[in-house]
Amino acid sequence: MQVLIPTSLRSYTRDSYVAAEGATLDAVLAALDRQYPGIRFRMIDEQERMRAHMRFFVNGQQVRDLAHPLRPDDALAIVQALSGG
């Protein structure tokens, strides 16, 4: 599947779009981590929870569960929330 990588994580991938496979969101993130070591930790914390500033969208719909099933033709967008003042 095609995965949109946020600017803040492109130091790992060097590309804005990469390909990854997996039957669940967690499996896709694990596949990304095999290709780009360390990237998963920037999105998922030590307790296996999505970091508060990260958002995941499958075909435009926000997903909040790492066990969310995915199909090979899905599009995954990883978005990092911005903050500041």
Q: What is the pLDDT of residues 23-82, one digit of tens each?
A: 999 999 999 999 999 999 999 999 999 999 999 999 999 999 999 999 999 999 999 987
Please, what's the b/e burial string for 26-53 (b: 16 or more CB within 10 A of its CB; e: otherwise)?
A: bbbbebbbeebeebbebbbeeeeebeee
Q: Which domains does the chain have, with CATH numbers?
A: 2-80 (3.10.20.30)
Predicted TM-score of the model (pTM)? 0.92
